[in-house]
Structure 1
Amino acid sequence: MLVSIVYMSRAATPFDDAALTELLRGSRLRNEALGVSGILLAKDGRFMQLLEGPAWSVDDRFAAIARDPRHGEVKSLVREDIERRRFDGWSMAYRSLDDSDIAAEEGFSPFLADGVDFPRSFDRTSAAWLLKWFRDRELHDR
């Protein structure tokens, strides 16, 4: 059985481009080994991530993230059974003033750029709605 989880968290310390690139590389290696795919969005000191794969693998990754001291306020938003993967590989979307360096990194996704959307089969799901909500909001501390 395949499942997907969407969660949101706050970075415990600021992440610069180098730290995000390192996070992407490490995450891709671990997730590939466990058969987990998905997308990680990083914006304004917050993360939203969709993890998908075998239930035991996704649950393991989410538990590890919840324990990771780099994340605070980890909240699971959606967990659902899925028939097939919606992301063929690991991706990271990241917004900065100049995305050219990180965009060259394997696994980078331009999802946070305006106009990029999901495939029609995924677009009307709760998970897609949450990812778009994260992309389209200004996330400032209040």
Structure 2
Amino acid sequence: MSLNYLVYVSQAAHDLSEAALADILRASQRYNAARDITGALLFVEGRDGRRGAFMQLLEGDDQELERLRARIFDDPRHHTKVVLDRGPLTQRNFADWSMAFRAVTPPDLAGHPEFADLADPGFMERCQQQGAPGAVAFLCEFWDAAPL
């Protein structure tokens, strides 16, 4: 198996309750554990306390990641799905997590100006046009700075 990663962002299509986020996390953990996929899922609450956005790093076999990407991108609970980066890995960043998860608010991202507006539609538009270099480093640094 070759080890690869994929990072994407998307916007929630509707308000997501804590229970809905917990359901997404449980389903992700089951699916990923069965396929040797690891990673991290960040949900950023929208500025108005509604909707929000996802950023996810997935690690595993390239074919498994592509199957999962297609499955995620077909999910109607979110829209404006953009792959930010993908490629080979020498080692996993989240080896102990079938899916690490953190829900945050926009002020929690203030120390990361390039990703501080992640929950805003303008961020998605910018990603579609320019990409978002440094997404993997951001997620790893964010998790390391505030342990789960």
TM-score strictly above 0.5? yes
* Per-residue deviation, 1:126: 2.9
* Per-residue deviation, 1:130: 4.4
Conserved? CA contact 1:7–1:75, under 8 Å = yes
Paired position in structure 2 for 1:85: 92
Structure 2: give runs of 5+ residues left out of the alignment: 46-51, 112-132, 144-148
Identity across the alignment (%): 35
Q: Distance in 2 between matches of 1:32 and 1:6?
A: 18
Q: Deviation per CA, 1:82-131, whole angstroms, max 9, x where unpaired?
A: 011110212011126xxxxxxxxxxxxxxx6899xxxxxxxxx9333443
SS at match of 1:24: helix
Residue 79 of structure 2: which of 65, 72, 75 is its match? 72
1:3 partner amino acid: N
The 1:84/1:129 distance shift into structure 2, 3 A limit, reads closer
Deviating 4+ runs (over 4 angstroms): 112-115, 132-135
Paired position in structure 2 for 1:19: 20
Paired position in structure 1 for 2:103: 94
* Per-residue deviation, 1:34: 1.1
Structure 1: give runs of 5+ residues left out of the alignment: 97-111, 116-124, 136-142
Paired position in structure 2 for 1:35: 36
Paired position in structure 2 for 1:55: 62
* Per-residue deviation, 1:133: 9.7
Conserved? CA contact 2:57–2:136, under 8 Å = no
Conserved? CA contact 1:48–1:134, under 8 Å = no
TM-score (norm. length: structure 1): 0.69
Matched, 1:10 2:11: yes
Q: Distance in 2 between matches of 1:113 and 1:17?
A: 20
2:53 partner amino acid: R
Matched, 1:128 2:128: no
* Per-residue deviation, 1:59: 0.8
